[in-house]
Every structure is written in structure tokens, then in C-alpha cells.
């Protein structure tokens, strides 16, 4: 599977070959790489399409940052004002073009990301409109030229006639495409912004998108490729996609659905983007209707009243699978951003932890805007959206049969090849407490086919520590994975193997012979040993945040929270490990995970968090992990970090509430 060929269409990053792993794990995705480039018949591969979308999103992101920095609103979308999001000074100081993907994702706070998301959509709409118009003009021009030529050269009348016909068809197609595309984008905007009315099932997004794509997206920012270039393929993409999107049963989605009766308070979110597509005045009650004419791109049909307009919409702008495909693509973009937001909030947590802020503190702070949660919210409430779109599994156990795994245009392979799976160490890198992350987004991970940003080891450990007696059989661990993460409901062979591999490989996992078999426990000491706490977390970023933007950019409440939160951290239950010096427990920085939490939480009476193998008597294998004796020293040096470690009270409760929940299936 060392497919270098995959790179041919994946122009962005070297990591794109990453797709290999995912490819191998998803057989159906094979062969996708082949025809990804623009084909002669005008078709464009999913990869291109996705890439385009990403570029658009990124472009929008840059523009967003630019606006934030300069205070200027883009001429096109004055709704951006409404996005009124406070951007840290440090961000504002930066020239958007200079912002690397990493920085972008690290700098933006959840609210900012959300605003960014909205603006991205608005801008995308605008860009598409402009683009379509240009395309139309071009086509007209070409057509006229051809006609002139035709007039001049009667001899080739026939031939030219054909050409003309082709152009006309192309023109028509273009119009259709733009109409449908924009409709979908509009709808998509409604969906994402109006959970109560048009929320779409997150599942669809997740199915079509993998977390890794998000990273790719951000990476693309750095590349700063020309959007217009990609735009050229746009129209063609649409046609290509149309054939495959049938699974969504787009037919069900009638244009009327787009009417926005914004019944709820979410209005603030949705208003901006929609208006951007049409003109700023939101005279009509329909985003596609204004000034007595249909605002559908390239249409401008006159409609005296709303009813007529609706009729017009239904007749002239009916939805087909093509537009649905586009909608899907846009959903993916949105989802990518949402995932990104989730990651951002996660990083924020880590940063807060690093800055001696209680992990629970930031919760109320960013929770409302936490996209991950909003995403899940959407998902849950989103049954109203296009019925054709697959609904999220009602039960956690419901197998996800993502379209991506099917032969759909946007195949998993292509998607994965773009970014590849997020392989690892996110948690380590950002010192993200699993517990806190899961606490906030457990619903998200439960239903979204998103790879959790934790290592297998940390997840396994979490699972085990979460168990009442801190021991689980292999099968129970499996069940925990599938129960907690939608992502682990597929490719079972792969991740189960990984789980077993981790259990065997890492010393921290101790197999204990039980009466009825064997169970796995966690040797907390070993676990902490094997991960020397190093506050990495993107050093540059951290520096940026601390020095560059510093606390000054944090709002007052935040600072206050930071200040006071640093105090009460040391009052955690004693985490004395029976087997080894109890101090070890105190030392770990909760680097990636749950550790800090679970121990305290699940120590329902029964004390010692890190179960020493001896406790379980029976036969215990002593694994020989690459010995790292120096770890102890390092951990000592980490002493100052203790305050950080002890703190995840908030997480616990979430995890606990999660526990009683549905049992394994």
C-alpha cells in the first residue's frame, strides 16, 4: 500500500501519503487516487472538489482575520460586522497571510472560530456567486465569439453549430450548477445556524469527512493556493458529484425548506452568512428573494410576491443530487471547521491548565460557543434538515455506515488521502486531559465519526480507570471504545489490534489473571513513567500566547479566573500508589489524559489509583518497555507542574454521568 501515486492529486502536504494507512484500512476506498485529476470530460475528482472547498474556507478564514485586524469589512459582506467577535490583539496584529495553519487554529478561540465559520460560509457564497457570474460571462463571450466565427465561416457551419451547442449546454449547465450550489450553500447555512429548524445530522458530515482532513485544511492555509484556480474546476465538480450524491435522496429536500422561519434565538448566528449571498438588505423573508426578484445566482427572475417566488423556486430551481453533493461538500468544510473548533477548545483547556487555571473554569467560558457541543446539538436537533440525509444513529451502538465508505464520490480514500488520519499524540502534544475533553465532547465523539485526539494508550487507560474496579477485560475495553466513540465502530479489526498491541506493549497495562479469565489494569506509575511530561504544545504558540498576546489579550474575567484558579489546585485526594512511591501520582501532569481525573473520581473508596499489579495477586507479566530510568528524574523536575495535574474535578462528573449511561451493546 505504499502508494505514492496518491500524491498526484494531493498537492498540499507531504503528509498526504498518509492516506495509505486509511486506504489500507478501508478497502473500498482503493483506486480512488487514480482519476482524481480533472478529467477531459470536465469531471473533477472529489479531492479537487474538497480541496476547493477547503481553499474557500481558508480564504474566508484569512479574510476574516484580516478584517478583524484591520477593522475593515469586506465590501461584499457587511454582515461580517455582526460577527462581532473579539479577536485577541495578537491575532489582530498579525497579517492573515502570515498566519500559519497551526497558528490559526491555535490562536482562534472557539467563538472566533465560530464566527470564522460563519464568515467563511458567507464569503464562500459570495465568491461562488462572483465566480459563477464570471463563468457565465466567459461562456457568453465564448458563445458570441463562436457565433461570430460561425457567421464568418459558413463552411464550417455544421461543426461550429455543434460547438455552439456544446457551449450552450455548458452554459446551461453552469447556470444550473451555480443555482443549485448556491441553494445548497444557503441551505447549509440555514442548517448549521438554525438547529431547531434545519439542523443537519452531524453524522452525514462525519461520514464524509475525517478529522485528518481538517488538519489538511489548515495546512492548506500555509500553501495559500489560488482559490480562483480551483474555482475553475468548480462547475465541473458539481456535475461530477451529482451522480454520486443520490444516496442523499436530495429530492426530498424541496426548496421551500430553505425558507427561513427563524423561530429561535439562534438568529444571531445565521443572519450574517445568508444575507451575504443576496444583498445586504434582507427585505424579503427569503434569502433568495429580494427586490422582487429571485436572488438565485444567475436567475434574477422577477417575482411579484413571495408566493410567486416560491413557485419559481420550485419550478426553476429544483434540487437535485448534484446540488446535494455540493451541499455535502460544504457540510464537510463546515464540519472540518467544527472539528477544528473542538480541537481548539481542547487546546484552550490545555493552555488553561498550563496557566494554572482550573480545567473546569474555562468550561462555562467557551462552552456556549464550543462548536463541538454545538455540533452535537445540531446533530441531535437536526432531524428537520433534509430528510434525505442520513440521520445520526439513535443508539450509540448503531453502526455507522458512512457514505464515505461507499463508492460515493467523496470517498474515504480521497478524503483521507488529503489529510490522512490524525495519527497521534495530539493529546500528548497539548497536554489535553482526556477527561476534560471527553467531558465536554463526549456526546460529540459518541456520535461523530471523528477520531478522538488521544492515543490508544490513554484511551485504554481511561477506559480501565473508569471501570468500577479499575479493571476490564479486553472485550470490555473494546466495548468501551465502541460505546464512547463512533469512530471506533468501524474498522474494528484495525483498532482492536491496536488496542491489543498497546495492552501488550506498554508496561503500564498489567494483565491480571482472574477467576473467570484475565483482566487488564493500569499501573499508574508506569503510565506516568512512560510519558515524561514535557510541555510541548506548540512552543511557539505558547510563547505567542503568553508573551506576544499575553494575558493582556485575555479578557478580564479570564485573567481573574486564571488568577484565582491557580490557588485551589492542590487539594486533591492523595493519590498514593501502593506499588511505588505515591509521589509519582502527584507528579504526573495529566499530560494527555484522563489520568488526573479518573483517579480521583473513581476512587470510590477503594483508594489507590494506580493499582499495583500485586494487588491482583495472580500471575502478572512484567513487561519490559524500553526502560527509561531517567524518567524519574524528569518527573521530579516537573514538580512545579503538580498544581496542574491535580485539577480536573469537572471532568469527573461528566465521565461519571457518562458511565451509568448505556452499557455496552
How far is 602 from 78, CA to CA, in rounded Å? 51
Burial status of residue 316 (CB atoms within 10 A of its CB: 0-12, 13-18, 19 or more): middle
Show Cβ contacts of residue 588 under 8 Å, excluding neighbours closer than 6 positions: 524, 527, 528, 531, 533, 595, 596, 635, 645
Q: How far is CA 602 from the centre of its chain?
A: 31
Give the Å distances, CA to CA, from 655 to 127, 412, 466, 599, 660: 44, 31, 8, 12, 9
Q: Give the nearest distance from C-beta 65 to DNA in angstroms.
A: 22
Q: Give the nearest distance from C-beta 543 to DNA in angstroms.
A: 13
Q: Are 111 and 337 in contact (CB under 8 A)?
A: no
Q: Give the nearest distance from C-beta 616 to DNA in angstroms.
A: 13
Count residues contacting DNA (CB under 7 A)?
48
Q: What is the DSSP letter of 546?
A: I
Q: In terms of CB distance, is 232 or 534 closer to DNA?
A: 534
Binding residue for DNA (CB under 7 A) from 520, 523, 569, 601?
520
Q: Give the nearest distance from C-beta 431 to DNA in angstroms.
A: 11
Q: Give the nearest distance from C-beta 361 to DNA in angstroms.
A: 25
How far is 649 from 459, CA to CA, in rounded Å? 19
Burial status of residue 116 (CB atoms within 10 A of its CB: 0-12, 13-18, 19 or more): buried
Backbone angles phi, psi at 30, to 5 degrees: -60, 150
Q: Does 429 bind DNA (CB under 7 A)?
A: yes
Q: Are 130 and 191 in contact (CB under 8 A)?
A: no
Tell me the per-residue interface mask from 391 to 420 with DNA, x by CB under 7 A, - otherwise: -----------------------------x
Q: What is the DSSP letter of 518?
A: E
Q: Give the nearest distance from C-beta 637 to DNA in angstroms.
A: 15
How far is 259 from 75, CA to CA, in rounded Å? 26
Q: Give the nearest distance from C-beta 511 to DNA in angstroms.
A: 5
How far is 145 from 298, CA to CA, in rounded Å? 21
- Which stretch in 378-386, 564-572, 577-585, 622-630 sits in contact with DNA by CB under 7 A? 622-630
- Closest CA relative to residue 91, chosen from 554, 559, 535: 554
Q: Please, what sign has the CA dihedral across residues 233, 238, 240, 244?
A: positive
Q: In terms of CB distance, is 421 or 610 closer to DNA?
A: 421
How far is 444 from 446, CA to CA, in rounded Å? 5
- Which stretch in 234-242, 594-602, 621-629, 644-652 sits in contact with DNA by CB under 7 A? 621-629
How far is 75 from 67, CA to CA, in rounded Å? 11
Q: Are 545 and 90 in contact (CB under 8 A)?
A: yes
Q: In terms of CB distance, is 286 or 416 closer to DNA?
A: 416
Q: Does 530 bind DNA (CB under 7 A)?
A: yes
Q: In terms of CB distance, is 111 or 452 closer to DNA?
A: 452
Q: Does 425 bind DNA (CB under 7 A)?
A: yes
- Closest CA relative to residue 654, chosen from 443, 346, 470, 352: 443
Helices (H), 224-266: 227-244
Site for DNA in 626-645 (CB under 7 A): 626, 628
Site for DNA in 465-504 (CB under 7 A): 473-475, 478, 491, 494-495, 497-498, 500-504
Q: Are 435 and 484 in contact (CB under 8 A)?
A: no
Binding residue for DNA (CB under 7 A) from 84, 621, 637, 657?
621
- Which stretch in 187-195, 319-327, 527-535, 568-576 sits in contact with DNA by CB under 7 A? 527-535
- Which stretch in 120-128, 251-259, 514-522, 582-590 sits in contact with DNA by CB under 7 A? 514-522
Q: Does 423 bind DNA (CB under 7 A)?
A: yes
Q: Does 20 bind DNA (CB under 7 A)?
A: yes
Q: In terms of CB distance, is 380 or 425 closer to DNA?
A: 425
How far is 132 from 367, CA to CA, in rounded Å? 38
Q: Does 511 bind DNA (CB under 7 A)?
A: yes
Q: Does 659 bind DNA (CB under 7 A)?
A: no
Q: Does 25 bind DNA (CB under 7 A)?
A: yes
Binding residue for DNA (CB under 7 A) from 534, 551, 583, 615?
534
Binding residue for DNA (CB under 7 A) from 531, 588, 612, 654?
531
Q: Give the nearest distance from C-beta 528 to DNA in angstroms.
A: 11
- Which stretch in 19-27, 73-81, 310-318, 542-550 sits in contact with DNA by CB under 7 A? 19-27
First to last CA, the chain: 34
- Closest CA relative to residue 187, chosen from 99, 244, 257: 257
DSSP string for 81-102: GGG-----HHHHHS-GGG--HH
Q: Give the nearest distance from C-beta 498 to DNA in angstroms.
A: 4
Q: Does 73 bind DNA (CB under 7 A)?
A: no
Q: In terms of CB distance, is 118 or 427 closer to DNA?
A: 427
Q: What is the DSSP letter of 548?
A: I
Give the Å distances, CA to CA, from 661 to 91, 416, 471, 484, 655: 41, 32, 18, 10, 10
Q: Does 454 bind DNA (CB under 7 A)?
A: yes
Burial status of residue 658 (CB atoms within 10 A of its CB: 0-12, 13-18, 19 or more): middle
Q: Give the nearest distance from C-beta 665 to DNA in angstroms.
A: 14
Q: Give the nearest distance from C-beta 71 to DNA in angstroms.
A: 33
How far is 67 from 636, CA to CA, in rounded Å? 46
- Which stretch in 44-52, 143-151, 276-284, 454-462 sits in contact with DNA by CB under 7 A? 454-462
Tell me the per-residue interface mask from 537 to 576 with DNA, x by CB under 7 A, - otherwise: -x--------------------------------------
Q: In terms of CB distance, is 309 or 478 closer to DNA?
A: 478
Binding residue for DNA (CB under 7 A) from 69, 89, 222, 505?
505
Binding residue for DNA (CB under 7 A) from 9, 18, 184, 258?
18
Binding residue for DNA (CB under 7 A) from 24, 147, 251, 384?
24
Binding residue for DNA (CB under 7 A) from 38, 92, 318, 518?
518
Q: Give the nearest distance from C-beta 495 to DNA in angstroms.
A: 6
Q: Does 424 bind DNA (CB under 7 A)?
A: yes
C-alpha cell at 589: 501532569
- Which stretch in 277-285, 340-348, 529-537, 559-567 sits in contact with DNA by CB under 7 A? 529-537
Q: What is the DSSP letter of 302?
A: B
Q: In terms of CB distance, is 233 or 416 closer to DNA?
A: 416
Q: What is the DSSP letter of 544?
A: I
The bridge status of strand 289-290 relative to strand 293-294 is antiparallel
What are 517's strand-pairing partners? 514
How far is 345 from 111, CA to CA, in rounded Å? 10
Q: Which residues bind DNA (CB under 7 A)?
A: 2, 14-15, 17-18, 20-21, 24-25, 420-421, 423-425, 428-429, 454-457, 473-475, 478, 491, 494-495, 497-498, 500-505, 511, 517-518, 520, 530-531, 534, 536, 538, 621, 623, 626, 628
Amino acid at each position: 500500500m505504499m502508494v505514492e501515486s496518491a500524491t498526484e492529486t494531493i498537492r498540499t502536504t507531504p503528509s498526504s501519503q498518509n492516506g495509505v494507512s486509511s486506504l489500507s484500512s478501508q478497502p473500498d476506498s482503493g483506486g480512488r487516487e487514480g482519476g482524481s485529476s480533472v478529467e477531459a470530460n470536465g469531471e473533477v475528482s472529489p479531492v479537487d472538489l474538497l480541496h476547493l472547498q477547503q481553499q474557500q474556507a481558508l480564504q474566508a478564514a484569512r479574510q476574516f482575520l484580516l478584517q478583524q485586524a484591520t477593522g475593515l469589512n469586506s465590501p461584499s459582506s457587511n454582515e461580517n460586522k455582526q460577527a462581532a467577535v473579539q479577536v485577541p490583539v495578537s491575532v489582530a496584529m498579525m497579517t492573515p497571510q502570515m498566519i500559519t495553519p497551526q497558528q490559526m487554529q491555535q490562536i482562534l478561540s472557539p467563538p472566533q472560530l465560530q464566527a470564522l465559520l460563519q464568515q467563511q460560509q458567507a464569503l464562500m457564497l459570495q465568491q461562488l456567486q462572483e465566480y459563477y457570474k464570471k463563468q457565465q460571462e466567459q461562456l457568453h463571450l465564448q458563445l458570441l465569439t463562436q457565433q461570430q466565427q460561425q457567421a464568418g465561416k459558413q463552411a464550417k457551419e455544421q461543426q461550429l453549430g455543434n460547438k455552439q451547442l456544446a457551449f450552450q449546454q455548458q452554459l446551461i449547465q453552469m447556470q444550473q450548477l451555480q443555482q443549485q450550489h448556491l441553494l445548497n450553500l444557503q441551505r447549509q447555512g440555514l442548517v448549521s445556524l438554525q438547529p431547531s429548524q434545519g439542523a443537519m445530522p452531524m453524522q452525514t458530515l462525519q461520514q464524509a469527512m475525517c478529522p485528518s482532513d481538517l488538519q489538511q485544511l489548515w495546512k492548506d492555509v500555509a500553501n495559500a493556493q489560488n482559490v480562483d484556480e480551483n474555482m475553475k474546476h468548480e462547475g465541473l465538480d458539481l456535475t461530477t458529484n451529482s451522480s454520486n450524491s443520490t444516496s442523499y435522496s436530495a429530492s426530498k429536500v424541496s426548496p421551500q425548506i430553505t425558507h427561513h422561519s427563524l423561530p429561535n434565538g439562534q438568529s444571531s448566528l445565521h443572519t450574517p452568512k445568508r444575507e451575504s449571498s443576496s444583498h445586504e438588505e434582507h427585505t424579503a423573508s427569503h434569502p433568495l428573494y429580494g427586490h422582487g426578484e429571485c436572488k438565485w445566482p444567475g436567475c434574477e427572475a422577477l417575482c411579484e410576491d413571495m408566493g410567486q417566488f416560491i413557485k419559481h423556486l420550485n419550478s426553476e430551481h429544483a434540487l437535485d443530487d448534484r446540488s446535494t453533493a455540493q451541499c455535502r461538500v460544504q457540510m464537510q468544510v463546515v464540519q472540518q471547521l467544527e472539528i477544528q473548533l473542538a480541537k481548539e477548545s481542547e487546546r484552550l483547556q490545555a493552555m488553561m491548565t498550563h496557566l494554572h487555571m482550573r480545567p473546569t473554569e474555562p468550561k462555562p467560558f467557551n462552552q456556549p460557543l464550543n462548536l463541538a457541543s454545538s455540533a452535537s446539538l445540531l446533530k441531535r436537533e437536526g432531524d428537520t434538515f433534509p430528510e434525505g440525509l442520513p440521520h445520526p444513529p439513535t443508539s450509540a451502538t448503531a453502526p455507522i455506515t458512512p457514505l464515505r465508505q461507499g463508492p460515493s464520490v467523496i470517498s474515504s480514500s480521497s478524503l483521507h488521502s488529503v489529510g490522512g488520519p490524525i495519527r497521534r499524540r495530539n493529546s500528548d502534544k497539548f497536554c489535553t486531559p482526556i477527561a476534560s475533553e471527553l467531558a465536554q465532547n463526549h456526546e460529540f465523539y459518541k456520535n461523530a465519526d471523528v477520531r478522538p485526539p488521544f492515543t490508544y494508550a490513554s484511551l485504554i487507560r481511561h477506559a480501565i480507570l473508569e471501570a468500577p474496579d479499575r479493571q476490564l477485560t479486553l472485550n470490555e475495553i473494546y466495548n468501551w471504545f465502541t460505546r464512547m466513540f463512533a469512530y471506533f465502530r468501524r474498522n474494528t479489526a484495525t483498532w482492536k489490534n491496536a488496542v491489543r498491541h498497546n495492552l501488550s506493549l506498554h508496561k503500564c497495562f498489567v494483565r491480571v489473571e482472574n477467576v473467570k479469565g484475565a483482566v487488564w489494569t493500569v499501573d499508574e506509575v508506569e503510565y506516568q513513567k512512560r510519558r515524561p511530561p514535557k510541555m510541548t504544545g506548540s512552543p511557539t504558540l505558547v510563547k505567542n500566547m503568553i508573551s506576544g498576546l499575553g494575558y493582556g489579550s485575555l479578557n478580564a474575567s479570564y485573567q481573574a479566573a486564571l488568577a484565582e484558579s491557580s490557588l485551589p489546585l492542590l487539594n486533591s485526594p492523595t493519590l498514593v500508589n501502593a506499588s511505588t512511591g505515591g509521589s509519582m501520582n502527584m507528579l504526573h501532569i495529566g499530560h494527555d489524559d484522563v489520568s488526573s481525573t479518573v483517579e480521583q473520581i473513581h476512587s470510590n473508596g477503594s483508594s489507590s489509583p494506580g493499582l499495583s499489579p500485586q494487588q491482583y495477586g495472580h500471575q502478572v507479566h512484567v513487561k519490559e518497555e524500553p526502560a527509561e530510568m531517567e524518567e524519574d528524574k524528569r518527573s521530579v523536575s516537573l514538580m512545579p507542574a503538580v498544581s496542574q495535574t491535580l485539577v480536573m474535578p469537572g471532568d469527573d462528573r461528566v465521565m461519571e454521568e457518562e458511565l451509568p449511561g448505556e452499557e455496552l451493546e
